[in-house]
Structure 1
């Protein structure tokens, strides 16, 4: 049972992707191509490199999450840096390019200069990974050639169409980490207090009551992100949508990677009837005719 997967963004929630990939393999599904946005892009690349889900889980579970978000000397303007993440990726991946990957893989980003979505599938993989996770204003933009790239989730929270382009005849399984529309808006917790410079910023924001302003602003961003996700899913129509229950996790939280991965496994177990229905003769014929029958879980 061959499929393509589209791994959506969500920061620390994205560890659920590990469990999704692991359970899909256990149930006999063969992932032939993978597309990723933001944290989903990190997981996508490691999987495409040939890392098993167990190896990806061990990599992130054993890393020091408190060191992910420091500033590097050459960072552009941003509230928080990605120095720790960059060190981790350079250590594990180095100068690997997309041509070195075991299966087709594409990441998404947005070019601030043109406002267009950019599909990253050539060149140095680490540069693409740092671009797809660069939440605008929170993390520094990544410059590749003449492009100024930020998080792909800005325009494409779950990269269904890029996944379909990689393998047009295969069903696309989309893994969505954002809360559906209708629930309470969630503020973003920026981890200023983990760094000495950040502590100063945090105190200044508190004294000027900007912490309250940020709470309101970030909750509005959450609503916008959920609306964009719903809109893109309705337009792009993945064959199956899997939603791990990770809504209690904030984007930059320090988490138990294994526990979050387990939530991904549970989501796949719940989705099995729909996943297996993808391979009925009728649904195979529908895909061959370009008709997509979205199932949401």
Structure 2
């Protein structure tokens, strides 16, 4: 297969659903398709970084099980009560979760690796918490970039990089296709995810989570519509479908998520090959 055309891969936000990108990567490898540039946002930044560093599929699956553990949120309820009672004071640098577990996992996975250690160019999206501006991370430690991109506002503390407080990239751009466009990718494979809505809401926390899903999903749809109209020829949108709700920490669903990503990717391989030929 001719490989002159440069392929950009974009993995959007979606929590544990982003593990579907492992299935996508498996299909690409089976068809002999290599990626030349990768962009990640929020949960997708984990997999974008892993791909750019040349992690194996098995390593990426292991990373998924280690990261999406209920231990990540173990202090959530006690901290929420402490903030509500006034025992603790909430500031712009606070979060409802102590990020010690997240810190430990990301440190183990990425260590001191930097963007110069990647085998292909990597771009990670975060949001400036104080200004709302999108921030593209392309240098320095990969740990810092990923930690910033997954910092769900109010849940995890923001992460400071170069003097800026950064939070979850999904707040500003859940599927940053334009980054691949700006870097002149000839063909762009964009895997995005819609967040699940809640059927019942019995707390303000649940209401806020539901409203966040509405906001992020609408932002995603508008972005998809714009980029599809503007660059429809070279963009392959892959949105895996799930026949059941996927909880953030449902690690038992990981094999299913990967399989759904594989299935969704396989459906577009014929078209991808036609673009590359």
Q: Place the TM-score, normalised by the shorter chain, in its bin.
A: 0.7 to 0.9
Could you report, residue by residue, the CA deviation over 1:27-58 in whole angstroms, capped at 9, with x for unpaired residues? 22111110000110001101111112232113
Runs of 4+ in 1 over 6 A off after TM superposition: none
Equivalent residue number for residue 38 of structure 1 = 42
Structure 1 residue runs of 5 or longer lacking an equivalent are 180-184, 190-209, 281-297
- Give a deviation string over 1:125-150, Cα, whole Å, max 9, x none: 10110000011112111111221100
- Say if 2:25 is the partner of 1:21: yes
Contact kept, 8 Å, 1:3 with 1:172, in 2: the verdict is yes
Q: Indicate the SS of the match to 1:278.
A: helix
Q: Does 1:80 align with 2:97?
A: yes
Cα distance in structure 2, aligned partners of 1:232 and 1:30: 25
Checking the alignment, whether the CA contact within 8 Å between 1:70 and 1:83 is kept in structure 2 is no
d(CA) in 2 for partners of 1:258 and 1:61? 10
Task: Report the equivalent of 2:212.
Answer: 221
| Residue-pair matches, total | 253
- Unaligned residue ranges in structure 2 (runs of 5+): 76-91
The equivalent residue for 2:236 is 240
2:106 matched residue in structure 1:
89
Picking from 3, 7, 12, the partner of 2:11 is 7
Cα distance in structure 2, aligned partners of 1:16 and 1:188: 24
- Once the two structures are superposed, the pairs formed by residues 1-297 of structure 1 within 5 Å of their partners are 1=3, 2-61=6-65, 65-70=69-74, 76-166=93-183, 168-178=184-194, 186-187=197-198, 211-237=202-228, 239-246=235-242, 248-279=245-276
- TM-score, normalised to structure 1, is 0.77
Distance across 1 between alignment mates of 2:226 and 2:197: 25
Q: Give the drift of 1:223.
A: 1.3
Pairwise CA RMSD: 2.6
TM-score w.r.t. length of structure 2: 0.83
- Measured in 1, the distance between the counterparts of 2:257 and 2:160 equals 32
Q: CA deviation at 1:188?
A: 10
Counterparts in 2 of 1:272 and 1:63: CA distance versus 1, 3 Å: same
For CA contacts below 8 A with separation 6 or more, give which structure has more relative contact order.
2
**Partners of 1:29 and 1:245 in 2: CA distance:** 23
1:91, 1:188 → 2: CA distance?
37
